[in-house]
Amino acid sequence: MSLILASQSPRRRALLDSIGVSYSVETGPELDEDAVLADESIGSFEKRMLELARRKGRPVSEANPDCLVLSADTMVLLNEHRLGKPANHADAMRMLLLLNGRTHHVATGLALQRKSDRLLLSAIVRTEVSFRKLSQVQLEQYLERAQPWDKAGAYAIQDLGSLLVERINGDYPNIVGLPLVRTAELLAQAGIVVL
């Protein structure tokens, strides 16, 4: 059974590789993520997260109707407000100051779909992340060294950003970009048994 990862994320690819899943990579057109997440007609914020994950995979599923398509969207949430990728240095510092010494969530919406039999499985996984309390000088040093301009919330836990984190509660791979246990469970429901 063929599996397609509808994501260009090198972190998601590395995570899937780590559990020995065979897959190819194909992505659809860019989505206006903010528009989907702001569309209250979809329902609750969690429903919008799931819809965003589904929409990321839908064009790939339509182009490959007999393949399973895995898509995901991971975001940093502070009091249910999304912290996206920083626009610039000042925006990254703003985000880090918001997170500094506080607890936030990293949430991933997952979708696994196959057009030929209308299979659609989805889930949301949340991990609680608590940041250490750091000085503004330390945060500046982090930004200089890590340059996290393409990272939601201006940090990546698998890199230098791990030094910002005091503790986590939940699924570590979820923070990197793909909750592996839940992904394996969805794959098993669709007929791909990982373990």
| In-domain check, residue 87 | yes
Q: Rounded to whole angstroms, how far apart are CA atoms 171 and 173? A: 6
CA angle 137, 130, 82 (to 5 degrees): 90
User: Is the sign of the CA dihedral 166, 135, 126, 85 positive or negative?
Assistant: negative
Q: Tell me if residue 32 is catalytic.
A: no
The CATH number of the domain holding residue 157 is: 3.90.950.10
Q: What was the pLDDT predicted at 148?
A: 92
Which position among 39, 73, 117, 150 bears the catalytic label? 73
User: What are the φ/ψ torsions at residue 167 (nearest 5 degrees)?
Assistant: -160, 160
| In-domain check, residue 194 | no
Residue 59 structural domain: 3-189
| In-domain check, residue 144 | yes
Model pTM?
0.91
| In-domain check, residue 195 | no
The total number of structural domains in the chain stands at 1
Q: What is the pLDDT along the chain (195 residues), one digit of tens a residue?
A: 799 999 999 999 999 999 999 999 999 999 998 899 889 999 988 899 999 999 999 999 999 999 999 999 999 999 989 999 999 999 999 999 999 999 999 999 999 999 999 999 999 999 999 999 999 999 999 999 999 998 999 999 988 999 999 999 999 999 999 999 999 999 999 999 888
